Structure 1
Amino acid sequence: MHPLIKKILRPPYRMTVDFFHDCHIRRQTKNLAKLPPDKKRVFYLGVAMHSNLGDLAQYYCIGKWLKTNYPEHEIVELEAETVVSRRFGFLELFRKALKPDDLIFFQSGYTTQDLGGLHDEMHRLIATEFPEQPIVMMPQTVFFVHEENRRRTALACNQARKMLFLARDRISFEQAKAMFPDLAVHLYPDIVTSLIGKYHFDSPREKVLFCCRNDGEKKYTDEEIANLRKKLAAFVETELSDTTVSVRASELRKHLQHYLEEIFKRYSRYRAIVTDRYHGTIFSLIAGTPVIILKTTDHKVITGAEWFRGVYDDRVYTAETPDDVEPILRKILQNPPQSKTDNYFERNYYQKLKGLIESSILAKEEK
């Protein structure tokens, strides 16, 4: 399209997108007034809305877990932007819809942070407006650049005396314990790990996949990755991919199980995967494929990999530098794992999470 035409069409296009976006937020908000008063509910807030399969996999797993463990509850999903919007009276309608024994679950992921997005604002708002409500913060990465933002979040969330805060890596756990001394804080694995061991593939394996991010968290440049792939080409063919896909989020959510199982199946066709994506690591394990982890600019991926030590030692490796990838990869290709992947995290964590929630909330009520 000609640049001048693009320039002319951009404002009306933006106005149209904003109009339908506002309609969506208004509809989500007004639907709160239509909820029947006699039902138990779980309010699942901050649901994933973009085309990143890692975030959507968390959304998928949380939704399944809620339906399995709270079958008598109605699950009400709300986006972060709907919750923090002041335009359509969300807080007033939410307050009317919320009953004392209703549960609030927050979306898991990289959302307790000050790098952008609306989730941290949503956490603070709900914690301060509904401090007596049972709240579960599903496994979080905690990372604050600015100390004043850390203090602001700590002050707000500590008011929610019935909040259970789950941190998904050691550093996030240590930070959360320091920030939230008044809350129940537990170290808990990412919920997508509950799918490890569920699937078993007999795909013929060939090539090595590089699943690499293309955002501010990546540590190594495209040129460094390209040079590494050229080096490996002497003994194995490689491909390049990412967990962010070029499919609209609405389409992904509509057929989410299909898209996730397709990517698991695809990952099962590789001899090994090299990734700097946290969920690239987990997807590899779901597919039963050995994975080599590259460092990122923060602690999320490397400390998240600590969960797999002593559990999947024949499948998970960490490369301190790109130069470490070649010897690790040669070792994997010469001695690929033969056993099926165990469902360790589902068995030891997610089958027990409801009990932890109930005991944590009861403990808070007794104080």
Structure 2
Amino acid sequence: MENSFSDHQSLMDSLKARHSDILKLIDGKRVHLLDIPVYGNVGDLLILKGTEIFFKKNKVNVVQVASVYNFQDKVRPGDVLAFQGGGNFGDLYRLHQTHREDLIKKYPENRIIILPQSIFFESKTAFEQCAAELRQHRNLHIFVRDEKSLESARHMTANCYLVPDMAHHLYSATVKPKNSGKRLLFKRLDKESTVENIDLQWHTKTDWDLLIENELQTIDLFRRLLRKSKKLNMDWLVMRAWLVYKNILIDKAKKFFLKHDFVITDRLHGHILASLLNTPNCVLDNSYGKNSNYVKAWTNPSPFVSLHQG
């Protein structure tokens, strides 16, 4: 077991060291971190927290942190626009995709960085329209998390990079689960879910919304406050409070996961969080192969990770 842990630790540490190209592109410039999550998907909050750690460690000058609800047009010539990573690049989540495309079109002279994303379009027409629009930008850089997304990104820009998820910057070798004998089934309740019957044993079953259901009203309050405070140019204060509150949600998720010593999940960040917490996990795929593509690209060598063959 000690050898297994050592191998897992080495892999996880190595994934934290693969984002140097992002720093080269920022090159000391002012950065606007955009499309950050103000909703209950803790996986996206893990990405945001990992990005914060990465930027702080490397002394990146972040001058604006904004969601789709409170972006302020304070972009100067030479500023870098960096969009939150995740899995909302495509036509499944139109609010975020439209926001991203609109700002890319609005700032043709600024360097734009898409932090590590998975790309998926249900509609071939929507994909081709997006690719045609994005190809017009001369300084667009897209970081992706898997080979399939890399193929898509190459239709949008010549500046494509294959890197792991930003949440890996949360990794610590000191965290270990309790020896509880309990197995967690962390299963999607949304449109990306595919597996109905799981042929594996488990003791607890939940998803992000169920795990933080007591906080959902507070999250909705933050969204409404961001919209209102933007008009008063006070949204930065609400955003500061949100960035603190999101850490409470992350800590709650971590404590819950650590009550189990094995995780079965069809959420990519169920897998990543378990791996961050040095917890063995079995990965089920989502509706379009995002999970298996990610595991094959990055975490498959870990003795703590297995892909479910069902």
TM-score by length of 1: 0.65
Q: 1:281 aligns with which of 260, 268, 271?
A: 271
Q: State how far apart, in whole Å, the 2-side matches of 1:184 and 1:120 are.
A: 19
| Structure 1 residues 255 and 79, CA gap change in structure 2 (3 angstroms) | closer
Show the 5 A alignment for 1:1-367: 41-71=30-60, 73-83=61-71, 94=73, 97-177=74-154, 179-180=155-156, 182-201=157-176, 203-221=178-196, 224-225=197-198, 228=199, 232=201, 238-244=203-209, 245-246=212-213, 247-248=215-216, 249=219, 250=222, 253-306=243-296, 307-310=298-301, 312=302, 314-321=303-310
Letter in 2 for 1:318: L
Q: 5+ residue gaps in structure 2? A: 1-28, 223-240
**1:123/1:157 contact within 8 Å kept:** no
Task: Give the aligned partner of residue 228 of structure 2.
Answer: none
How many residue pairs get matched?
A: 257
Q: State how far apart, in whole Å, the 2-side matches of 1:193 and 1:205 are.
A: 25
Q: 5+ residue gaps in structure 1? A: 1-39, 84-89, 322-367
CA RMSD of aligned residues (A): 2.2
| Structure 1 residues 143 and 262, CA gap change in structure 2 (3 angstroms) | same
Higher Rg: 1
| Structure 1 residues 74 and 169, CA gap change in structure 2 (3 angstroms) | closer
Higher helix share: 1
| CA apart distance, 1:74 | 4.1
Q: State how far apart, in whole Å, the 2-side matches of 1:271 and 1:46 are.
A: 34
| Structure 1 residues 150 and 202, CA gap change in structure 2 (3 angstroms) | closer
**1:264/1:286 contact within 8 Å kept:** no
| Structure 1 residues 46 and 199, CA gap change in structure 2 (3 angstroms) | farther
Q: State how far apart, in whole Å, the 2-side matches of 1:150 and 1:57 are.
A: 27
Task: Give the aligned partner of residue 351 of structure 1.
Answer: none
Q: Percent identity?
A: 23
Structure with bigger RCO (C-alpha 8 Å, 6+ apart): 2
| CA apart distance, 1:294 | 1.1
TM-score by length of 2: 0.76
SS in 2 for 1:118: helix
| Structure 1 residues 202 and 144, CA gap change in structure 2 (3 angstroms) | closer
Q: State how far apart, in whole Å, the 2-side matches of 1:253 and 1:198 are.
A: 25
Q: State how far apart, in whole Å, the 2-side matches of 1:46 and 1:141 are.
A: 15
**2:146/2:293 contact within 8 Å kept:** yes
| CA apart distance, 1:253 | 4.4
